[in-house]
Amino acid sequence: MDYLAGLNPQQRAAVENTQGPAMIVAGAGSGKTRVITYRVAHLIEKGVDAFNILVLTFTNKASKDMRERISKVVGPEAKNLWMGTFHSVFAKILRVEAEKIGYPSNFTIYDTDDSKSLIRAILREMQLDDKLYNANFVYNRISSAKNNLVSHVEYMQSAEIQAEDLSNKRPMLGVIYETYTKRCFKAGAMDFDDLLFKTNVLLKNHPDVLNKYQQKFKYLMVDEYQDTNFSQYTIVKKLAAAYQNICVVGDDAQSIYGFRGANIQNILNFEKDYPDLKVYKLEQNYRSTQNIVEVANSIIANNKNQLEKNVFSENESGDRIKVSRAFTDNEEGKIVAEAIVQDRSSNGLNYNDFAILYRTNAQSRAMEEALRKLSVPYKIYGGLSFYQRKEIKDLIAYFRLTFNPSDEEAIKRVINYPRRGLGDTTVDKIIVAADQHNITMWKVIQDPQKYIAGRIANQLNDFAMLIKSFQAESKKLDAYETALYISQHSGILKELHTDDSIEGRSRYENIQELLNGIKEFAEREDIEDRSLAIFMQDIALLTNDDREDDKLKDTVSMMTIHSAKGLEFKNVFVVGLEENLFPSQMSLNSRTDLEEERRLFYVAITRAEKKLTLTYATSRYRWGTLTNCEPSRFISEINAKYLELETVKAPKTSIGSDSFDGERRSWSQQRDSDSFSKPKPSVSGTATSVSARPKNTMLPTAHIPTPGFRPDAANAFQNGMEVEHEKFGFGKIINLEGTLPDVKATVFFQGLGNKQLLLKFAKLRIVK
């Protein structure tokens, strides 16, 4: 029982009391992970069979870390735990029980791109305006319905929902939802939301299955319970109903995923579901200095809707929190970069002791430029995932077809890659034939002469034989050998190997890296099933929060605050603290949304261990226009005694009405100035004339293309990609509209603003 010795009284009580419903309210930095892992270990030490314990997390990384910690206490028995993310655990159950709800056990899991691609295809077939029925909007609408357990049938039958869609001039949303659902079913595919939605259907319609898993999971633990949605809440409640040995862990002050459907009421009202609930409050923060904790407390105290707790720290008082005012976003970047260089030098720190957190990804640009100028190494998190790169998705589409040839999105992706004379016209013919005969695309491809006239039948036969050869080999070979065979015989390796451009070599290396990862997976000894199908399921279920561990790399971390949840750094910079940016303009219409923004700020503050700096700019480029900015209301909510204000020397041409003497002023002096009174009505969006541009903000110069500049094909581009244009320079794709070959991209170029370009003529090169 040595593992109990290091726990404080509240932690120990939460670990030792394992019977009945319990809620552990874990403040930031309070040792939550230690309590969860020791509680599970304690159950096993007391004789509970590990097979009867279910632990649900929100990231694969969290479950992996917990399992490793538990194994240090109980040994190999930790391998027998059912532990993982909601999606991975219930995908595993659905594989076993799929036939009961009409799905094959080898169903494909569609990622967001697959789902949106299918939605775009449906919009084209229905001849709907893709501006009014934007694929992103439609996808989010369907996702929201599923997370609230509203089926397409209930959606169509709800007078309230139909009236809402009609008032929004989108009366066909229900029909799109129905068509999307049927097409996924026909393709033997589930999207992310289906993994929870279909689990609810399974447990509701099959009492025998519900009873089976209630008896199996006699003890349930749910991490980050404040982030659960209605669908997750319902599954957990059903599974725990028999024994009620349910323990949820979370912090309502860190509930920041309302936009994903998370419902903070799940944790706030947990006691209503379980009147015999025992509540354990972990209030001692072991991570941060006293000043940082007090600042966080003073912020979150402004929220009315919260669980009562008193977070405290017994660490050193620490430095006061620095608030730095800049005149432009570029100046803000310079302040942060120079502070990192100085702190690292004077305090003997590493670059990986620093993190820069921002509200939106667009803010990274000014920070990147400033860090580069001072040769500070950095890494941005939350960019394009390795598994979202085109060449990776292409090869994985072949893997998917090998195990589920009905997967229509995979067919459409690779039927003509590498090119084999089966273009869009052929694909359209296959789709029409499949719809007319109510069969899958694969059945048409297998027997093309029966459904499609003309010479393309031979090419379709060849493609079908290729996929069948992959299926045959997969039954004889392990995961790595199967993947290598497919990559070689599909033609992808040859296609990329013959492309001697920098991008071509990079894509070829990415394929090699994927194969290396599969080789590593095939040699693992800690899992029973090391098939390629299981590898594909694992990567399909990776979340945005499952980032690679770069702690060993000495780089400054840059990320959105949402991505930073669960992490900690010695020194943290929270940048862009301005009205309409943070809090977001979208959050100012209701108290509920504003309180979530405040919780987001609380999360940002509590990532810091030793030093916290807050920055804002009085002007910022937004969508290519220089706008005046007001400091965030959140700054004025902090108790002044914990803060230290710094300003930088103003440029000769001031922006707005403020002028500064360039000297450091005390916080009390600053609070007396107008800019830190209650926020004024925002003037964001008001253009500042070029004559008022600060002298240190350079106008764009002519762009010199990167040596060996070679544009990418129009079908290679995705939203969020960073690109280079021969004339306009470097930019970022913020929107894609239309269908190939007439896809139109909206690209934001620094200093030039938004440009709309037809991809087939634009000559853009993918940077990353």
d(CA 372, CA 401): 43
Q: Are residues 134 and 158 in the same domain?
A: yes
Q: Output the pLDDT for position 363.
A: 86
Domain-embedded: residue 136: yes
Task: Identify the CATH number of the domain in which residue 133 sits.
Answer: 1.10.10
Residues contacting residue 80 through CB under 8 Å, at least 6 positions apart: 49, 50, 51
Domain-embedded: residue 20: yes
Domain-embedded: residue 532: no
Q: Output the pLDDT for position 647.
A: 55
Specify binding-site residues for ATP: 26-33
Q: Are residues 247 and 338 in the same domain?
A: no
pLDDT classification of 54: cutoffs 50, 70, 90: very high
Catalytic-role residue among 108, 199, 234, 254: 254
Q: Among 313-317, 619-623, 699-703, 759-763, name the most confident range.
A: 313-317
Q: Output the pLDDT for position 681.
A: 33
pLDDT score of 729 more than 50: yes
Among 161-170, 291-300, 369-378, 744-753, which is the least confidently predicted range?
Answer: 744-753
Catalytic-role residue among 10, 11, 32, 765: 32
DSSP-derived letter for residue 387 is G
pLDDT score of 253 more than 50: yes
Q: Output the pLDDT for position 698.
A: 31
Query: What count of other Cβ atoms lies within 10 Å of the Cβ of residue 477?
Result: 17
pLDDT classification of 751: cutoffs 50, 70, 90: low
Domain-embedded: residue 262: yes
Domain-embedded: residue 709: no
pLDDT in tens, 313-366: 999 999 999 999 998 888 999 999 999 999 999 999 999 999 999 998 878 878
DSSP-derived letter for residue 337 is H
Look up residue 642 and give its two tokens: 């914990």
pLDDT score of 615 more than 60: yes
Look up residue 153 and give its two tokens: 């049938």
d(CA 653, CA 691): 9
From 187, 214, 230, give the residue that closes a domain.
187
Residues contacting residue 763 through CB under 8 Å, at least 6 positions apart: 711, 725, 726
From 712, 546, 682, select the one nearest 618 (Cα to Cα).
Answer: 682
Specify binding-site residues: 26-33
Handedness of CA 154, 239, 537, 255 (dihedral sign): positive
pLDDT (mean) for 709-726: 84
Question: Can you tell me which residue has the tokens 């005694």?
Answer: 641
Q: Are residues 324 and 460 in the same domain?
A: no
Give the domain extent around 738: 721-766
Q: Are residues 210 and 341 in the same domain?
A: no
Among 75-79, 88-92, 190-194, which is the least confidently predicted range?
Answer: 75-79
pLDDT classification of 545: cutoffs 50, 70, 90: low
d(CA 210, CA 484): 40
pLDDT (mean) for 408-414: 94
CB-count exposure of residue 461 (10 Å: 0-12, 13-18, 19+)? middle
Domain-embedded: residue 477: yes
Q: Are residues 351 and 429 in the same domain?
A: no
Establish whether 224 is a catalytic residue: yes
From 8, 3, 28, select the one nearest 609 (Cα to Cα).
Answer: 28
Catalytic-role residue among 607, 610, 611, 633: 607
Residues contacting residue 565 through CB under 8 Å, at least 6 positions apart: 254, 256, 545, 603
DSSP-derived letter for residue 580 is B
Q: Output the pLDDT for position 492.
A: 93
Establish whether 450 is a catalytic residue: no
pLDDT classification of 634: cutoffs 50, 70, 90: very high
pLDDT classification of 625: cutoffs 50, 70, 90: low
DSSP-derived letter for residue 271 is H
Task: Identify the CATH number of the domain in which residue 442 sits.
Answer: 1.10.486.10
pLDDT score of 688 more than 50: no
Among 144-158, 207-221, 523-537, 556-570, which is the least confidently predicted range?
Answer: 523-537
Q: Output the pLDDT for position 657.
A: 32
Q: Are residues 202 and 94 in the same domain?
A: yes
Establish whether 32 is a catalytic residue: yes
Task: Identify the CATH number of the domain in which residue 624 sits.
Answer: 3.40.50.300
pLDDT score of 696 more than 50: no
Q: Are residues 434 and 495 in the same domain?
A: yes
pLDDT classification of 2: cutoffs 50, 70, 90: confident
User: How would DSSP label each residue in 537-555?
Assistant: HHHHT--TT-----TTS--
Average pLDDT of every residue of the chain: 85
Give the rounded percent of residues in the chain with a pLDDT score beyond 70. Answer: 90
Q: Are residues 463 and 612 in the same domain?
A: no
pLDDT (mean) for 169-173: 94
Domain-embedded: residue 399: no
pLDDT score of 701 more than 90: no
Three-class HEC string of 484-499: HHHHHHCCHHHHHHCC
Among 392-396, 557-561, 748-752, which is the least confidently predicted range?
Answer: 748-752
pLDDT classification of 722: cutoffs 50, 70, 90: confident
From 122, 118, 263, 259, select the one nearest 190 (Cα to Cα).
Answer: 118
Q: Are residues 515 and 417 in the same domain?
A: yes
Q: Are residues 238 and 141 in the same domain?
A: no
Q: Are residues 518 and 601 in the same domain?
A: no
From 523, 538, 560, give the residue that closes a domain.
523
User: How would DSSP label each residue in 615-656?
Assistant: EEESEEEETTEEEE-PBPHHHHTS-GGGEEEEE-PPPSS-ST
pLDDT (mean) for 560-579: 93
pLDDT score of 579 more than 90: yes
How many structural domains does the chain have? Answer: 5
Among 250-254, 397-401, 706-710, which is the least confidently predicted range?
Answer: 706-710
pLDDT in tens, 496-542: 888 877 777 888 888 988 888 888 888 877 777 788 988 888 888 77
Q: Output the pLDDT for position 597.
A: 95
Q: Output the pLDDT for position 683.
A: 30
Establish whether 607 is a catalytic residue: yes
Q: Are residues 201 and 183 in the same domain?
A: no
From 600, 630, 645, give the residue that closes a domain.
645
Q: Output the pLDDT for position 388.
A: 80
Q: What is the Cα gyration radius of the chain?
A: 28
Establish whether 33 is a catalytic residue: yes
Domain-embedded: residue 174: yes
pLDDT (mean) for 171-179: 96
Which helix (H) or strand (E) is 748 found in, with range?
Answer: strand 744-749
Q: Is 279 helix (H, G, I), strand (E, B) or coil?
A: strand
Establish whether 369 is a catalytic residue: no
Query: What count of other Cβ atoms lies within 10 Å of the Cβ of residue 378?
Result: 20
